[in-house]
Amino acid sequence: MSISGKRVVRAGAVQRRGSNRMSPKALYARPMALRQLYTDAGTLMRRGQREAAAAYQQNSR
DSSP 20: -
Q: What is the pLDDT along the chain (61 residues), one digit of tens a residue?
A: 555 555 555 555 554 455 567 777 776 677 788 888 889 999 999 999 999 999 999 988 7
pTM of the model: 0.44
Rounded to 10 degrees, the C-alpha dihedral 29/31/23/20 comes to -160
Give the three-class secondary structure for 13.
Answer: helix
Q: State the number of CA atoms in the 13 A half-sphere of 27 facing the CB.
A: 5
